Amino acid sequence: MTTRSASLLALLALSLGSAPAFAQSDHAGHTSAPAGQRGGPVASPPGAAVYFVALRDGAVVPPKFVVNFGLTAMGVAPAGSDRENSGHHHLLIDTELPPLDQPIPNDFQHLHFGAGQTEAEVTLPPGQHTLQLLLGDKDHIPHSPPVMSQRIRVTVSETAGAVAAAPPAAAAPSGPKKRNPSPPDAKVYFVYPTDGAYVSRTPVIRFGLINMGVAPAGVAKANTGHHHLIVDSELPPLDQPIPNDFQHLHFGSGQTEAKVTLPLGRHTLQLLLADEDHVPHDPPVLSKPITVTVTKSGRRPRSASRWRYR
């Protein structure tokens, strides 16, 4: 594990705090929002519930494990898809619920699954963690009433066995997906920050794109894609869907800017565009990696030796 990777995992490990009151849960583990609780403008149908499949409160899991998402009385649709009685999943890690009438943040503690995924491989450092599912509409805003799971606690152990898997889905066709072509001279770049910049712990990253358009995940449109931000990591395989984890942030609703949370210190950032299935184009449309330094003030220290990351 690199030092940068370790720093990101340490940030998660330190973020665990006291849990708020759980939402109301029935005997099957399905959860409903407290009476009268409101979210955004899109209504959820009666009886809608989201829950963890084969992952129980108090489970002991390995550092890398698959989380399966269950949903009743609603359908799954990608971000950007305005389909009635549908939404897409978000996994909250070691954090309380965000404001329920605003877009769910996209950072290390709020993982977005904007392509309509119903499972995800998650990597966590050893120790105790909390997990919670929260459904979002086409704009990543929770429904009214919000559709969220019970907040569960898991313990990550190097010696734990694999989490019991859900029943296997039908086998996918073998071989990599045929990549969508990118047009000549397509380019993605950072509008802000620039290489070598000093930033705060919660900078707003702005994405620039030339000779292509932006379309949400799940929307197949020629010469378009959506942004992914790679943090302190090498490029993933370019013929496969981009991972969705703490070092690969997805912006599947077509965002062209995003507020992210970074720990103090130096970090590398890189943008990578992908198609409706989160697979990079051919040839890939990616920015040059840049290096930023996070300080408490967001400004260059007065003395690098005396005021390190001040």
* Distance, C-alpha 170 to centroid of its chain: 25
Q: What is the DSSP letter of 280?
A: B
| pLDDT for the residue numbered 21 | 35
Contact between 255 and 249 (Cβ < 8 Å): no
The rounded distance, in Å, linking the Cα atoms of 246 and 129 is: 15
Taking the CA atoms of the chain, what radius of gyration do you get in angstroms? Answer: 20
| Token pair listed for 143 | 């429904």
| pLDDT for the residue numbered 33 | 53
The rounded distance, in Å, linking the Cα atoms of 276 and 253 is: 11
Collapsed DSSP state (helix, strand, coil) of residue 119: strand
The sign of the CA dihedral 251, 51, 21, 12 is negative
The sign of the CA dihedral 292, 6, 129, 65 is positive
The rounded distance, in Å, linking the Cα atoms of 180 and 116 is: 19
- Provide the b/e sequence for 110-122 (b: ≥16 CB within 10 Å): bbbbbbbbbebeb
Q: Calculate ∠ Cα 68-139-237, nearest 5°.
A: 55
The rounded distance, in Å, linking the Cα atoms of 114 and 104 is: 12
| pLDDT for the residue numbered 163 | 54
pLDDT digit string (tens) for the chain, length 310 residues: 343 443 344 343 333 333 333 344 443 444 545 545 788 899 999 989 999 988 999 999 999 998 988 888 888 888 888 888 888 999 999 999 999 999 999 888 999 988 788 888 898 999 999 999 999 999 999 999 999 999 999 999 988 765 544 444 444 444 566 899 999 899 999 999 999 999 999 999 999 888 888 887 888 888 998 999 999 999 999 999 998 888 898 887 777 888 888 999 999 999 999 999 999 999 999 999 999 999 999 999 886 554 455 5
Q: Name the region of 116 (left: φ>0; alpha: ψ -120 to 50; beta: rest).
A: left
Helix (H), strand (E), coil (C) string for 212-248: CEECCCCCCCCCEEEEEEEECCCCCCCCCCCCCECCE
- Model-level pTM? 0.55
| pLDDT for the residue numbered 301 | 87
The sign of the CA dihedral 183, 185, 189, 195 is positive
| pLDDT for the residue numbered 127 | 94
| pLDDT for the residue numbered 36 | 59
